[in-house]
Amino acid sequence: MADAEKLICWDSQDIFAIGIRLKTPGGQFHAETEEPVELDTGYGGDVLLPWEMYVDLELYGWECPEEHWSVGLSVSGEKFEMPLSRGVLVVPRLGHEFDVRIETFEGNEQFLIGRGFIRRHKILLDGPGSRVCFFADEAEFQNLG
């Protein structure tokens, strides 16, 4: 178990979430203050953004070529493309920011942090303690993975 003093934690009564602000490469933030965003190991990318937020932030001005986009598969078997852009995930309590890849798809309302980001960091899901903690030492580097 790591030294507790190195942990930056958020209360987590239900979902496991960390407080972040998302920033476009152009410097536009999605929110004035940190917003708890769910950690979801069922999603493989870095960050999944609600479609409207993707549009509002004009992230289509920072897109990667379509040949790099992943394909989404709905419960009914429908396939759909997932536009891929880039941005910066800011963790205000850490005082650090991380380059991330951002995905969305039309109609999506979910805001998630996925395995792509989680696998680059040490994050503690403390169920009995009702908290999520980020190991601060692991925040010293930026990584686009």
Partner 1 sequence: MNLTLQIPDRLQAEFEQRARERYGEAGPARALQEAIALWLETVTKPDDLKAERALNNQVYRGLKRDLEREYQGKYVVIAHGALQGAGDTLEQVAGLAPEARHRLVFQVGEAPPRRRERLWRMQRS
Contact positions vs partner 1 (CB under 8 A): 25-26, 42-45, 60-75, 78, 80, 82, 84, 86, 101, 105-110
State how far the Cα of 28 lies from the Cα of 25, in Å rounded to an integer.
8
State the nearest-atom distance from the C-beta of 87 to partner 1, in Å. 11
Q: Which is nearer to partner 1, 40 or 133 (CB)?
A: 40
User: Half-sphere exposure (CA, 13 Å, Cβ side) for 37?
Assistant: 26
The neighbouring-strand residues paired with 100 are 87
Write down the least CB distance from residue 25 to partner 1, Å. Answer: 6
Least CB distance from residue 99 to partner 1, whole Å? Answer: 9
Specify the residue, 119 or 137, whose C-beta has the smaller distance to partner 1: 119
Q: For 117, phi and psi rounded to 5 degrees?
A: -80, -45
**Complex with partner 1: residue 78 or 140, whichever CB lies closer:** 78
Angle (CA) 117-11-109 rounded to 5° is 55
Least distance from partner 1 to the Cβ atom of residue 2, Å: 29
Nearer to partner 1, 29 or 80 (CB): 80
CA 9 to CA 59: how far, in whole Å?
Answer: 29
Side by side, the strands of the sheet bearing 131-135 are 7-11, 131-135, 123-126
